[in-house]
Amino acid sequence: RPALVWLRRDLRLADQAAFAEAASAGPVIPVFVLDDETPKHRKMGGASRWWLHHSLASLDADLRKIGSRLVLRRGVAAEVLADLARETDAAAIHCLHHYEPWWRNAEKALKTALPEGCSLEKHHGNYLMPPGSVTTGSGQPYKIYTPFWRALAQHMPPAKPLPAPKALDAPKAWPDSDDLADWKLLPTKPDWATGFASEWTPGEAGAADRVDAFLAKAKHYEDRRNLPSIEGTSRLSPHLHFGEISPATVWHATIEAGGSVETFLKELVWRDYGQNVIAQYPDYGKANARDAFDDFPWRDPSDAQVKAEIEAWEQGRTGYPLVDAGMRQLWATGWMHNRVRMVAASFLIKHLLVDWRVGERWFWDTLVDADYGSNATNWQWTSGSGVDSNMFVRIMAPLTQSEKFDAAGYIREWVPELASLSDKEIHDPEAAGKFVKGYPKKIIGHKQARERALAAHATTKS
Ligand code: FAD
């Protein structure tokens, strides 16, 4: 009897325990279910769908090289998989653990829907440690990043990555598969993703190339990671999000490359931290962790003025060059530099006084690495509403940040209308007396925004 391998955000062959286990028992049927319907499921955003399309095509091509293929189905995952298990007389469904609340719901539902004689076998491998497994002395999962990192580091290095299977036994007959093109995951009119293809190569081979490219310059990571004008970070986030490479593989490759890599590994652990948080707080993407923030006097996003300001933020037309460069990079490539994400998020929340959830949703739709755990923990960190967070009253100054992190080159690339300004002028054209045709004036002055934010905060217990 065959086994199904249920793929989600683990679109790889190497270090993929579900494949390894299923392959050792007999024929394997790899299956991906496009699920927009499981109750409380958060539909994948547009940029993620673009990535998913290419990643699935790449995985199918890789599977065909080893005698297998990818079966595509669409619908409520638990129902679709239970039907497929019946249709193929599968002995088991193997998958990796996922921690988004909708996937946990789907796994529960699947367990009860499975035909007799078919079991659900869940394996670890998408995180350095299974979320929830690193606990305090009293056995509680951590809420704060730093002690979490210290405790997790005690369990490192992770187990050596499993090799990719060299061949997979095919079933006697392949079940029908949807045609990937029929899923219409790619944008058509307008095709806003034209810039994505030159930036990214989704799939396992693309992920491996990114790791190699990064390792060649990993020794500079600590010095360069905050400088948006330089490609100083790994840009592995979408590959890690879609599971095209395992974090254990990244960990071992980084250690083997040598040098001072702790800062990078610490960043990698933020990814584990985000899952550790959503495993404890499934609603973290939509509810403040600190109740006091429930009464925060955010401006009303349905008000015409506020709506226009949110749109200006989305389109990179706030009059703050660093924020605008970041938001335009996001739209054009589906990715934004981490330092600039922090500045842009803080700007929406504190300068425009808009609830973090509005920004979280925009990022969800536009990031190729949109990840429920990482996105929510970072937005709640910025707003001050999270279990581990910056204080609301710490308001980032976008103009100072722009100078401090030497963003002139970055701004020139993404806000070309400012390209002729000098390194000194470009951070704040208005203050330099440069009114550039087509570039907006500041949507709100920094001082005024800061005072308004602090006054709003003072009315709450947050
Ligand atoms: P590197 O610096 O090379 O780091 C290596 C890996 O570590 C990353 O690929 C990522 O998997 C992980 N990592 C690094 N920093 C963080 C972090 N702060 N939180 C979680 N993981 C981290 N990251 C996402 O993967 N998905 C998101 O949806 C997301 N939303 C964010 C929203 C906001 C408001 C902010 C401030 C940050 C967000 N991040 C998110 C975190 C971070 O910006 C990206 O992971 C990072 O920019 C990815 O680039 P990189 O791969 O070059 O990172």
pLDDT in tens, 45-68: 999 999 999 999 999 999 999 999
The one-character DSSP state at 99 is -
Under the banding of pLDDT at 50, 70 and 90, the label for residue 330 is very high
* pLDDT-above-70 percentage for the chain: 100
Compute the mean pLDDT over every residue in the chain, rounded to the nearest whole number.
97
Q: From ligand 1's centre to the CA of 438, what distance in Å? A: 32
Residue nearest atom 30 in ligand 1 by C-alpha distance: 375
- What is the model's pLDDT at position 291? 94
Query: Is the minimum distance from the CB of 48 to ligand 1 under 6 angstroms?
Result: no
Domain chopping of the chain, boundaries = 3-125, 127-159+203-280, 291-458
Query: Is the minimum distance from the CB of 270 to ligand 1 under 6 angstroms?
Result: yes
Query: Is the minimum distance from the CB of 275 to ligand 1 under 6 angstroms?
Result: no
Query: Is the minimum distance from the CB of 382 to ligand 1 under 6 angstroms?
Result: yes
Query: Would the pLDDT of 237 be above 90?
Result: yes
At 395-442, the pLDDT tens digits run 999 999 999 999 999 999 999 999 999 999 999 999 999 989 999 999
- What is the model's pLDDT at position 259? 77
Residue nearest atom 42 in ligand 1 by C-alpha distance: 338
Under the banding of pLDDT at 50, 70 and 90, the label for residue 461 is confident
CA dist 382 → 120, 265, 283, 365 (Å): 38, 22, 17, 19
Query: Is the minimum distance from the CB of 239 to ligand 1 under 6 angstroms?
Result: no
- What is the model's pLDDT at position 38? 82
Query: Is the minimum distance from the CB of 225 to ligand 1 under 6 angstroms?
Result: yes
**34 beta partners:** 74
At 218-233, the pLDDT tens digits run 999 999 999 999 999 9
Q: From ligand 1's centre to the CA of 85, what distance in Å? A: 37
Ligand 1 pocket test: pick from 338, 357, 375, 380 the residue with the most ligand atoms within 8 Å of its Cβ. Answer: 338
Burial 34-46 (b: 16+ CB within 10 A, else e): bbebbeebbebbb
| Helices 77-88, 101-113: crossing angle, 10 deg rounding | 40
Query: Is the minimum distance from the CB of 338 to ligand 1 under 6 angstroms?
Result: yes
3-state secondary structure of 277: helix
Query: Would the pLDDT of 18 be above 90?
Result: yes
Which DSSP helix (H) or strand (E) runs through 27?
none
- What is the model's pLDDT at position 437? 92
Query: Is the minimum distance from the CB of 371 to ligand 1 under 6 angstroms?
Result: yes
Query: Is the minimum distance from the CB of 378 to ligand 1 under 6 angstroms?
Result: yes
**152 beta partners:** none
As a whole number, mean pLDDT of residues 178-187 equals 97
CA angle 310, 313, 315 (to 5 degrees): 110
- What is the model's pLDDT at position 275? 98
Under the banding of pLDDT at 50, 70 and 90, the label for residue 348 is very high
- What is the model's pLDDT at position 114? 98
Query: Is the minimum distance from the CB of 234 to ligand 1 under 6 angstroms?
Result: yes
Query: Would the pLDDT of 258 be above 90?
Result: no
Under the banding of pLDDT at 50, 70 and 90, the label for residue 205 is very high
Query: Is the minimum distance from the CB of 177 to ligand 1 under 6 angstroms?
Result: no
At 64-113, the pLDDT tens digits run 999 999 999 999 999 999 999 999 999 999 999 999 999 999 999 999 99
Q: Which CATH superfamily is domain 3-125 in?
A: HUPs (3.40.50.620)
Query: Would the pLDDT of 444 be above 90?
Result: yes
As a whole number, mean pLDDT of residues 226-249 equals 98
Residue nearest atom 18 in ligand 1 by C-alpha distance: 270
CATH code matching the domain that covers 127-159+203-280, chosen among 1.25.40.80, 3.40.50.12280, 3.40.50.2300, 2.60.15.10? 1.25.40.80
Phi and psi based region of residue 117 (left: phi greater than 0; alpha: psi -120 to 50; beta: remaining):
left
| CATH fold for the domain made of 291-458 | DNA Cyclobutane Dipyrimidine Photolyase, subunit A; domain 3 (1.10.579)
Q: From ligand 1's centre to the CA of 375, what distance in Å? A: 8
Query: Would the pLDDT of 204 be above 90?
Result: yes
Query: Is the minimum distance from the CB of 328 to ligand 1 under 6 angstroms?
Result: no
Scanning 220-261, the segments in alpha helix (DSSP H) are: 221-224, 237-241, 247-257
- What is the model's pLDDT at position 260? 76
Q: From ligand 1's centre to the CA of 285, what distance in Å? A: 16
Structure token digits, residue 91: 């002995």
Q: Which of 19, 30, 32, 259 is nearest to 161 (CA)?
A: 19
Ligand 1 pocket test: pick from 277, 378, 381, 405 the residue with the most ligand atoms within 8 Å of its Cβ. Answer: 378
Provide CB contacts within 8 A for 326, sequence distance 6+.
Answer: 228, 316, 336, 337, 340, 341, 343, 344, 414
As a whole number, mean pLDDT of residues 257-268 equals 91
As a whole number, mean pLDDT of residues 306-322 equals 98
As a whole number, mean pLDDT of residues 173-201 equals 95
Q: From ligand 1's centre to the CA of 275, what distance in Å? A: 13
Query: Is the minimum distance from the CB of 274 to ligand 1 under 6 angstroms?
Result: yes
- What is the model's pLDDT at position 453? 98
- What is the model's pLDDT at position 189? 84
Under the banding of pLDDT at 50, 70 and 90, the label for residue 41 is confident
